[in-house]
Structure 1
Amino acid sequence: MIPRIVDLPKSRSFFLFGPRQTGKSTLVRSRLDASSWSVDLLESDLYLRYARAPEMFRKEAEDRIARKGVTTIFIDEVQRLPDLLNEVHLLIERHGCRFILSGSSARKLRRGGVNLLAGRAVERQLFPFVHAEIANTFDLEDALRFGTLPAVHGRPDAEKADILGAYANTYLREEIQQEGLVRNLGGFSRFLDVAAAQSGELVNFSAFGREAGLPTRTVQSYYDILEDTLIGCRLEPFIKSARRRLVAHQKFYLFDTGVTNAVNRRLAGPPDAALRGRLFEQLMVLETMRMRSYRRSEARLFFWRTNGGAEVDLVVERRGRPAAAFELKAKKRIAGADLTGLRAFNDEHPRVPRAVVCDAPEPYELEGIRILPWKVFFEELPQILG
């Protein structure tokens, strides 16, 4: 098993959230001992029994605590049965039992108004592999095309394509409907196709709705579903400026480049130059978001863009101020034309360090801007995020 860098509490109860097939169950089970009890809510008989009578879970847990000395209980896919959290709360209060609760949506539970244990359990997130976890076998072209989900790592290309195709068609479309999140599967499928095609671009709900043939409010709700199920994430615009009119629309990225390509039906061969550039940007942004979560950093991430079109792909803010600005370019040789956005950003924020993350073999400096190979960027992320 490949070691994961997420820092899971050793004695406290915790939620572990993450998209499907990121390895949550495998990770947790690898750390359980003989004093643990696992409950998988994907098992139909268990799900139906506890759905009919949630108190039965508490009674069975108390029996195991008393007779078998169980001290840790792992509930997998807890979002399928939120009412169990009331029973979990009682068990923590009465017996001091430790709970590990995994699922694919923290926001879905919060929106449902369920008991999130009032601070008795901390939250962690698990993502597809980051570079630090698979550095010895990491291949950039493979990651751009197939992503870094544990389920595809190390497999032949044909198997990777099959797994990702099933993920896109079975989970993203059918299971989301089965979980009651959407009623109109056809409309959601059209939305998903357009969302994947526009991953990393500015989100304009009304224009998107016209392209997908959906009302604007429906488009907004579907984006919320992707975020609720951790299938996508937003990147907000950095709009602090005294002199320029800045774009206020968000960007939205699907959580994995391989899943993006699967939805777009672009797994058959390597991406062309234009697509490779977009996937490179997506991968760099996702890696930064994942590492920020793993480090529990207080840094905030943005992009910066003026109405005139000058843009910086990634701005890291720390303690309320921009701490670093990055342009993300999938090319080996950086020219002056690639620095336009960073020059414009420097006019507004002259003391902020700037860099271009790219395919260059070695770091160097151009016009006072660092040119960083992507490997160096990955290595420096802990210091960048603080």
Structure 2
Amino acid sequence: MIDRIAASKIEQLAATFKSVAVTGPRQSGKTTLAKSLFPEKAYLSLENPDVRRFALEDPRGFLSRYQSGAIFDEVQRAPELFSYLQEILDDSPEPGRFILTGSNNFLLQQNISQTLAGRVAILNLLPFSTEELYSEVSNVPDENQLIFKGLYPPIYEPGIPPEDWFPNYLRTYIDRDVRQIKNITDLIVFERFIRLLAGRNGQELNLTSLAVDTGVDTKTIQSWIGILESSFIIYLLRPHYKNFNKTLIKRPKVYFYDTGLVCSLLGISNVEQLPLHPLRGALFESLVVTELVKQRTNAGKPVNLYYWRDKTGHEVDIIIDNGLSLVPVEIKAGKTVNNEFFGNIAYWNKLSGATKGYIAYAGNQIEERSNGITVLNWFELLKRGV
């Protein structure tokens, strides 16, 4: 079993909060991690029809069986339990009594905010990070292999080929998770929407363009974007809010959490197709952005990442907002450093007054420039924990 960085944070939360909720996409390893961290607790999956029926029809009787606590998997499938859990948690000072997991963040967060606010700590568990997979490896992992395979656990344990796993994952996600949130009648149109969105990975989110290409209205597209975001399929990178320039772009950029899923949606069937693929740059950027997101979620920290772009075409891929300082990061898929890498960060630093920045690229050369900009490999950037 591959060690998960989030394990220590979950144990810390379970020692102080009465309950812990671990959310994340389907098949990200939530159940495996919860079982390994709390082996003494009974495990119940609310996906099981018999278990769910008992929980829904007799919640008091169901919970009375687990006085010492339990792991309730896919707990959003039985929302009626939350009110009864509140009563139990309020009557007991014991920390870490119940561990809740769910792959539907919208439904889980909705129920927690209504009944268990202040009693439950929430941590998002995403698929493997490169740090988890390559912590013992001294050389830089091959980015093309990572982009094609993605980082979902079943691709590595037990090792299902991505070309077999992702189509089945997509079908399961649409048939089960999407129906839970909203009863979409035409799943074929919804699947077409996801494939169209995959072609826009790393771009600004244009609802009107998506609506025209999908054949539905913009309100429907907005609703579907919310579904994908709440079920951890996509991540919306918001523009930085500080107004260094009055002509800023205000739409978010859309990234899929997993590049392997994007490759599958785009019809990329083997890794040899990637080097010359027109979307390789966007896929590489998506890999780095989501790895930066994982660093923060695994530590239980807020995601302090943004992007910046003005209407004249100047853009910085990532702005890390550390409160008292802003750190710009440019992501480049090339392996050779050239002067074009530096223009946008230099322009942004002049506007903002920042004195440093990073260029994360696919090459291995490290350069410390006199203007405060550091050029380094993308994996080295992650290891530095900027």
Give the TM-score of the pair, scaled to structure 1: 0.89
Query: What pairs up with 1:301-380 in 2 under 5 angstroms?
Result: 301-319=305-323, 321-366=324-369, 368=371, 369-380=373-384
1:320-339: per-residue Cα shift (whole Å, max 9, x none)? x5521011011111211222
**Count, aligned residues:** 370
Query: What pairs up with 1:199-238 in 2 under 5 angstroms?
Result: 199-238=201-240
**49-58 or 282-291: bigger deviation:** 49-58
Which residue is equivalent to 1:4?
A: 4
Quickly say closer, same or farther: Cα 1:266–1:113, change in 2 above 3 A. Answer: same
1:82 aligns with 2:94: no
- How far did 1:113 drift? 7.7
- How far did 1:367 drift? 6.1
Which residue is equivalent to 1:43?
A: 48
1:343-366: per-residue Cα shift (whole Å, max 9, x none)? 221221232411110122131134
Give, in whole Å, the separation in 2 of the partners of 1:121 and 1:100.
Answer: 9
Give, in whole Å, the separation in 1 of the partners of 2:376 and 2:69.
Answer: 45
After superposition, the CA RMSD in angstroms is 2.1
- The secondary structure found in structure 2 opposite 1:122 is strand
Give, in whole Å, the separation in 1 of the partners of 2:301 and 2:109.
Answer: 22
Report if the CA contact (8 A) 2:75-2:100 is conserved. Answer: yes
- The secondary structure found in structure 2 opposite 1:14 is strand
Give, in whole Å, the separation in 2 of the partners of 1:177 and 1:297.
Answer: 28
Query: What pairs up with 1:112-131 in 2 under 5 angstroms?
Result: 115-131=114-130
Quickly say closer, same or farther: Cα 1:376–1:149, change in 2 above 3 A. Answer: same
- The secondary structure found in structure 2 opposite 1:348 is helix
Query: What pairs up with 1:4-153 in 2 under 5 angstroms?
Result: 4-6=4-6, 7-8=9-10, 9-11=13-15, 12=17, 13-34=19-40, 36-61=41-66, 65=67, 71-96=68-93, 98-111=97-110, 115-135=114-134, 136=136, 138-153=141-156
Give, in whole Å, the separation in 2 of the partners of 1:19 and 1:87.
Answer: 26
Unaligned residue ranges in structure 1 (runs of 5+): 66-70
Quickly say closer, same or farther: Cα 1:335–1:232, change in 2 above 3 A. Answer: same
* Percent identical residues: 26
Report if the CA contact (8 A) 1:315-1:322 is conserved. Answer: no
Which residue is equivalent to 1:174?
A: 175
Which residue is equivalent to 2:279?
A: 275
Quickly say closer, same or farther: Cα 1:296–1:155, change in 2 above 3 A. Answer: closer
Give, in whole Å, the separation in 1 of the partners of 2:93 and 2:44.
Answer: 18
Whichever residue aligns with residue 51 of structure 1, its letter is L
- The secondary structure found in structure 2 opposite 1:237 is coil
Whichever residue aligns with residue 167 of structure 1, its letter is Y
Residue of structure 2 aligned with 1:197, choices 180, 196, 199: 199
Quickly say closer, same or farther: Cα 1:142–1:23, change in 2 above 3 A. Answer: same
Report if the CA contact (8 A) 1:176-1:182 is conserved. Answer: no
Quickly say closer, same or farther: Cα 1:265–1:190, change in 2 above 3 A. Answer: same
Quickly say closer, same or farther: Cα 1:52–1:124, change in 2 above 3 A. Answer: same
Whichever residue aligns with residue 63 of structure 2, its letter is R
- The secondary structure found in structure 2 opposite 1:224 is helix
Which residue is equivalent to 1:188?
A: 190
Report if the CA contact (8 A) 1:235-1:252 is conserved. Answer: yes
Quickly say closer, same or farther: Cα 1:170–1:10, change in 2 above 3 A. Answer: closer
Report if the CA contact (8 A) 1:168-1:262 is conserved. Answer: no
- How far did 1:298 drift? 4.6
Quickly say closer, same or farther: Cα 1:76–1:339, change in 2 above 3 A. Answer: same
Report if the CA contact (8 A) 1:239-1:246 is conserved. Answer: no
Quickly say closer, same or farther: Cα 1:352–1:221, change in 2 above 3 A. Answer: farther
- The secondary structure found in structure 2 opposite 1:361 is coil
1:240-287: per-residue Cα shift (whole Å, max 9, x none)? 234451111111111111111122222334313432211110011001
- How far did 1:117 drift? 1.3
Report if the CA contact (8 A) 1:235-1:251 is conserved. Answer: yes
Give, in whole Å, the separation in 1 of the partners of 2:28 and 2:354.
Answer: 39
Give the TM-score of the pair, scaled to structure 2: 0.89
Quickly say closer, same or farther: Cα 1:161–1:155, change in 2 above 3 A. Answer: farther
Give, in whole Å, the separation in 2 of the partners of 1:72 and 1:237.
Answer: 42
Whichever residue aligns with residue 33 of structure 1, its letter is P
Report if the CA contact (8 A) 2:334-2:362 is conserved. Answer: yes
Quickly say closer, same or farther: Cα 1:340–1:205, change in 2 above 3 A. Answer: same
- How far did 1:95 drift? 4.5
1:32-71: per-residue Cα shift (whole Å, max 9, x none)? 233x22111111211122223333322333xxx3xxxxx2
Give, in whole Å, the separation in 2 of the partners of 1:112 and 1:216.
Answer: 28
1:220-249: per-residue Cα shift (whole Å, max 9, x none)? 000001111122111001242344511111
